[in-house]
Structure 1
Amino acid sequence: MARVQVERDEVERPIVAQLQAMGWNHVPGADVGELTADAPFLKDVLARALRRVNRRATDGEPWMDESDIGRAVAELAAVPSGQDVGKANLAATELLLSGLRLNGPSAAHGGSSATVQYVEWHEERRERNEFTVVDQLRVRNRSDKVSVLDVVLFVNGIPLAVIECKSPDLADPIRSAVLDLRHYAGSPLPDDEREGSGLPLPSGVPELFRTVQLMVAATAESAYLGTITSGPEHYHPWRSVEPEDPATLAAELPADTGRLNERHKLVGVVLRPAALLTVVRHYIVPLPAQTDAGGVRTVKIVARHQQYRAAEKAVRRLLTGKARGGPVLEDERGGLIWHTQGSGKSLTMAFLVRRMHLHHRLSEFTVVVVTDRTQLQEQLARTLRLSESEVETAETAAQMEGLLRDGGRRVVFAMIQKYGAGGFTFAAEGDGDGDDRDLAAEYEDAERARRERRAAKLPPVPNFPECNPSSDVLVLVDEAHRSHTKLLHAALRKALPNAAKIGFTGTPIMTGKAEDTRRIFSGGSGRDFLDVYRMADAEYDRVVVRIRYEGRTGEGRVFDKDGLDRNFEDLIRDRTPEERRELLNRWPTERDVAESAPMIRAKAEDMLEHWVTTVLSGGGFKAQIAAVSRKAAVAYHHALRAARDALMVELAAFRPEKVAGVPLEELARRERYLFQAYQYRALLRRIDFVPVISPGEERKRHEWLHWTDPARQAAYIERFHQAFPTYPPETEWAATTPFHASAPRPQTQAGAGHNPWSQQGAKGPAAEPDPVHPDSPVAFLIVKSMLLTGFDAPREQALYLDRPIRDAELLQAVARVNRPMPGKEIGYVVDYYGVFDHLSSALADYEDADVDDTMRSMAEEVGGLAPAAEAVSAYLARLGIADGDLTDFTAVRSAALAFGEETVRQDFDEVLGSFLTVLERVLPHEAGLEYVGRARRWALLQKRIRTLHRDAPGGSFTLRLYGRKVRAMIADHLEGPEIDQVIAPVSLSSAQFDEKVRTMPAREAAAEMGHALRFHLEERVKREDPEKYARLSERLEEILRELPGRFEEQIAAFGPLMDEARKQDEQDPRLAGLSPLEQRLYRLLDQEIAERSGIDVGQADLREVTGAVCGTAATIMAQAAYQGQHQDLAELADKIRMELFKARLRPAAGADLTGLRELAERLAAYAEENRAAFLAWSRGE
Structure 2
Amino acid sequence: MAVLQVERDEVERPTVAQLEAMGWKHVPGKDVGTLDAGVPFLTDQLSRALRRINLRADDGRAWMDADDVKRSIAALAAVSVGEGVDRANLAATDLLLNGHLLAGPSAAHGGPSAVVQYIEWHEEHVSRNEFTVVDQLRVRSRSGEVSVLDIVLFVNGIPLVAVECKSPDLADPIRSAVLDLRHYAGSPLPDDERDGGGLPLPAGVPELFRTVQLLVAATAGTAYLGTVTSTPEHFHPWRSVEPEDPATLTAELPGGAGRLNERHKLVGVVLRPEALLRVVRHYVIPMTVPTESGGARTVKAVARHQQYRAAEKAVRKLLTGRARGSSVLEDERGGVIWHTQGSGKSLTMTFLVRRMHHHHRLNNFMVVVVTDRTQLQEQLAGTLRLSEVEVETAETADQMAGLLRDGGRRVVFAMIQKYGAGGFAFAAEAEDDGDDRDLPAEYDEAEQARRERRAAKLPPVPNFPECNTSPDILVLVDEAHRSHTSLLHAALRKAIPNAAKIGFTGTPIVTGKAGDTRRIFSGGPDRGFLDEYRMADAERDGVVVRIRYEGRTGEGTVHDQRGLDRRFEDLVRDRTDEERRRLLHRWPTERDVAESTRMIRAKAEDMLEHWVTTVLPGGGFKAQVAAVSRKAAVEYHHALRAARDALLEDLAAFRPEAVAGTPVEAMDRRTRYLFQAHPFRSLLRRIDFVPVVSPGQERKRREWLNWTDPVRQAAYIERFHQAFPVLPPEADWVLATPFRAPVNEPRAPAGAGGNPWSREGTDQPGKPEAEPDPVHPESPIAFLIVKSMLLTGFDAPREQVLYLDRPIRDAELLQAVARVNRPMPGKEIGYVVDYYGVFEHLSGALADYRAADVDDTMLSMSVELDALGPAAEEVRRYLREHTGVVDADLVDFAAVRSAALAFEDETVRRGFDRVLHGFLATLERVLPHERGLDYVGEARRWGLLQKRIRTLHRDAPGGTFTMRLYGRKVRSLIAEHLEGPEIDQVIAPVSLASPLFDERVRAMPAREAAAEMGHALRFHLEERVKREDPEKYTRLSQRLEEILREMPGRFEEQLQAFGPLLEQARRQTEEDPRLAGLTPLEQVVYRMLDKDAVENPDLDTSRVNLRELAEAVCETATRTMSKTSYQGQGQDIGLLADRIETELTRGKVFPAGTDWGPLRVLAEGLAAHANHNRKSFLARGRGQ
Structures share fold, TM-score greater than 0.5? yes
Paired position in structure 1 for 2:465: 465
- Please give the residue correspondences for 1:542-621 in structure 2 after superposition, counting only pairs within 5 Å: 542-554=542-554, 569=561, 572-573=564-565, 575=567, 577-579=569-571, 581=573, 588-621=588-621
Paired position in structure 2 for 1:489: 489
In structure 2, the CA distance between the partners of 1:858 and 1:40, relative to structure 1 (3 Å rule), is same
Offset of 1:424 from its aligned partner? Answer: 2.9
Specify which structure has the bigger relative contact order, considering alpha-carbon pairs within 8 angstroms and separated by 6 or more residues.
2
For the pair 1:418 / 2:418, whether they are aligned, the reply is: yes
In structure 2, the CA distance between the partners of 1:1142 and 1:461, relative to structure 1 (3 Å rule), is closer
Segments of structure 2 that go 5 or more residues without pairing to the other structure are 450-454, 750-757, 1094-1098
Paired position in structure 1 for 2:752: none
Query: Aligned letter for 2:952?
Result: L
Q: For structure 1, which segment, 790-799 or 691-700, has the greater mean C-alpha deviation from structure 2 after superposition?
A: 691-700
Paired position in structure 1 for 2:187: 187
Query: SS of 2:847's equivalent?
Result: coil
Offset of 1:746 from its aligned partner? Answer: 7.6
For the pair 1:379 / 2:385, whether they are aligned, the reply is: no
In structure 2, the CA distance between the partners of 1:258 and 1:418, relative to structure 1 (3 Å rule), is same
- Please give the residue correspondences for 1:93-242 in structure 2 after superposition, counting only pairs within 5 Å: 93-242=93-242
Query: Aligned letter for 2:267?
Result: V
Query: SS of 2:285's equivalent?
Result: strand
In structure 2, the CA distance between the partners of 1:6 and 1:422, relative to structure 1 (3 Å rule), is closer
- Determine if contact 2:471/2:500 at 8 Å carries over to the other structure: yes
Paired with 1:827 and 1:103, the residues of 2 have a C-alpha distance of 57
In structure 2, the CA distance between the partners of 1:1064 and 1:1154, relative to structure 1 (3 Å rule), is closer
Give 2:973's match in structure 1, choosing from 952, 969, 976: 969
Paired with 1:777 and 1:435, the residues of 2 have a C-alpha distance of 27
In structure 2, the CA distance between the partners of 1:845 and 1:462, relative to structure 1 (3 Å rule), is closer
Offset of 1:463 from its aligned partner? Answer: 2.8
In structure 2, the CA distance between the partners of 1:441 and 1:128, relative to structure 1 (3 Å rule), is farther
In structure 2, the CA distance between the partners of 1:388 and 1:715, relative to structure 1 (3 Å rule), is same
Paired position in structure 1 for 2:1063: 1059
Query: Aligned letter for 1:772?
Result: V
In structure 2, the CA distance between the partners of 1:384 and 1:1160, relative to structure 1 (3 Å rule), is closer
Q: For structure 1, which segment, 675-684 or 990-999, has the greater mean C-alpha deviation from structure 2 after superposition?
A: 675-684
For the pair 1:777 / 2:769, whether they are aligned, the reply is: no
For the pair 1:263 / 2:263, whether they are aligned, the reply is: yes
Identity of aligned residues (%): 71
Segments of structure 1 that go 5 or more residues without pairing to the other structure are 449-453, 558-565
- Determine if contact 1:25/1:133 at 8 Å carries over to the other structure: yes
Offset of 1:171 from its aligned partner? Answer: 0.9
Offset of 1:748 from its aligned partner? Answer: 11
In structure 2, the CA distance between the partners of 1:761 and 1:1034, relative to structure 1 (3 Å rule), is farther
- Determine if contact 1:638/1:756 at 8 Å carries over to the other structure: no
- Determine if contact 1:571/1:606 at 8 Å carries over to the other structure: no
Paired with 1:494 and 1:209, the residues of 2 have a C-alpha distance of 52
- Determine if contact 1:161/1:213 at 8 Å carries over to the other structure: yes
Q: For structure 1, which segment, 119-128 or 568-577, has the greater mean C-alpha deviation from structure 2 after superposition?
A: 568-577
- Determine if contact 2:368/2:414 at 8 Å carries over to the other structure: yes
For the pair 1:826 / 2:829, whether they are aligned, the reply is: yes
In structure 2, the CA distance between the partners of 1:525 and 1:1133, relative to structure 1 (3 Å rule), is closer
Offset of 1:954 from its aligned partner? Answer: 0.6
Paired position in structure 2 for 1:560: none
Paired with 2:1044 and 2:1086, the residues of 1 have a C-alpha distance of 40
Query: SS of 2:792's equivalent?
Result: coil
The two structures have a TM-score, normalised by structure 2, of 0.91
Offset of 1:1128 from its aligned partner? Answer: 14
Offset of 1:726 from its aligned partner? Answer: 0.9
Give 1:900's match in structure 2, choosing from 896, 901, 904: 904
Query: Aligned letter for 2:803?
Result: Y
Offset of 1:1145 from its aligned partner? Answer: 7.3
In structure 2, the CA distance between the partners of 1:1137 and 1:44, relative to structure 1 (3 Å rule), is closer
Paired position in structure 2 for 1:305: 305
- Determine if contact 2:1126/2:1132 at 8 Å carries over to the other structure: no
Paired with 1:567 and 1:660, the residues of 2 have a C-alpha distance of 25
Query: SS of 2:254's equivalent?
Result: coil
In structure 2, the CA distance between the partners of 1:229 and 1:434, relative to structure 1 (3 Å rule), is farther
Query: Aligned letter for 1:339?
Result: H
Query: SS of 1:854's equivalent?
Result: coil
Offset of 1:998 from its aligned partner? Answer: 0.7
Paired position in structure 2 for 1:563: none
Query: Aligned letter for 2:374?
Result: T
Offset of 1:461 from its aligned partner? Answer: 5.7
Offset of 1:1153 from its aligned partner? Answer: 10
Query: Aligned letter for 2:93?
Result: T
Paired with 2:367 and 2:1085, the residues of 1 have a C-alpha distance of 54
Query: Aligned letter for 1:526?
Result: D
For the pair 1:70 / 2:104, whether they are aligned, the reply is: no
Paired with 1:343 and 1:1022, the residues of 2 have a C-alpha distance of 43
For the pair 1:403 / 2:403, whether they are aligned, the reply is: yes
Query: Aligned letter for 1:888?
Result: D
Paired position in structure 1 for 2:941: 937
Paired with 2:924 and 2:1090, the residues of 1 have a C-alpha distance of 47
For the pair 1:890 / 2:882, whether they are aligned, the reply is: no
Offset of 1:1134 from its aligned partner? Answer: 10
Paired position in structure 2 for 1:817: 820
Query: Aligned letter for 1:581?
Result: R
In structure 2, the CA distance between the partners of 1:800 and 1:857, relative to structure 1 (3 Å rule), is same
Give 1:859's match in structure 2, choosing from 850, 859, 862: 862
- Determine if contact 1:374/1:434 at 8 Å carries over to the other structure: no
Paired with 1:284 and 1:441, the residues of 2 have a C-alpha distance of 45
Offset of 1:851 from its aligned partner? Answer: 1.0
In structure 2, the CA distance between the partners of 1:577 and 1:509, relative to structure 1 (3 Å rule), is closer
Give 1:1048's match in structure 2, choosing from 1049, 1052, 1056: 1052
Q: Deviations 1:201-244 (Å, cap 9, x if unpaired)?
A: 11111111000000101111111100010111111000000000
For the pair 1:841 / 2:844, whether they are aligned, the reply is: yes
Query: Aligned letter for 2:8?
Result: R
Paired with 2:25 and 2:1134, the residues of 1 have a C-alpha distance of 47
In structure 2, the CA distance between the partners of 1:822 and 1:642, relative to structure 1 (3 Å rule), is same
For the pair 1:1019 / 2:1019, whether they are aligned, the reply is: no
Q: Deviations 1:589-613 (Å, cap 9, x if unpaired)?
A: 2000111100111111111111111
- Determine if contact 2:46/2:157 at 8 Å carries over to the other structure: yes
- Determine if contact 2:84/2:1168 at 8 Å carries over to the other structure: no
Paired position in structure 1 for 2:452: none
Paired with 2:183 and 2:430, the residues of 1 have a C-alpha distance of 54
- Determine if contact 2:461/2:491 at 8 Å carries over to the other structure: no
Paired with 1:334 and 1:1128, the residues of 2 have a C-alpha distance of 44
Paired with 1:822 and 1:880, the residues of 2 have a C-alpha distance of 36
- Determine if contact 2:1128/2:1171 at 8 Å carries over to the other structure: no
- Determine if contact 1:337/1:504 at 8 Å carries over to the other structure: yes
Query: SS of 1:511's equivalent?
Result: coil
Q: Deviations 1:1011-1066 (Å, cap 9, x if unpaired)?
A: 00000011011100000000000000011111111100000000000011111277
Paired with 1:1127 and 1:117, the residues of 2 have a C-alpha distance of 33
For the pair 1:874 / 2:881, whether they are aligned, the reply is: no
Offset of 1:184 from its aligned partner? Answer: 0.7
Paired with 1:196 and 1:571, the residues of 2 have a C-alpha distance of 54
Offset of 1:660 from its aligned partner? Answer: 2.4
Give 2:995's match in structure 1, choosing from 968, 991, 998: 991
Pairwise CA RMSD? 3.5
The two structures have a TM-score, normalised by structure 1, of 0.91
Paired with 2:300 and 2:205, the residues of 1 have a C-alpha distance of 19
Offset of 1:86 from its aligned partner? Answer: 0.5
Query: Aligned letter for 1:769?
Result: P
- Determine if contact 2:550/2:832 at 8 Å carries over to the other structure: yes
Offset of 1:1097 from its aligned partner? Answer: 7.4
Q: For structure 1, which segment, 1095-1104 or 377-386, has the greater mean C-alpha deviation from structure 2 after superposition?
A: 1095-1104
- Determine if contact 1:227/1:300 at 8 Å carries over to the other structure: yes
- Determine if contact 1:324/1:330 at 8 Å carries over to the other structure: yes
Offset of 1:428 from its aligned partner? Answer: 1.6
Paired position in structure 1 for 2:33: 33
Query: SS of 2:59's equivalent?
Result: coil
Paired position in structure 2 for 1:343: 343
Paired with 1:1170 and 1:845, the residues of 2 have a C-alpha distance of 62
Query: SS of 2:513's equivalent?
Result: helix
Q: Deviations 1:699-742 (Å, cap 9, x if unpaired)?
A: 12211122112111111111111111111112111112111112
Query: SS of 1:412's equivalent?
Result: strand
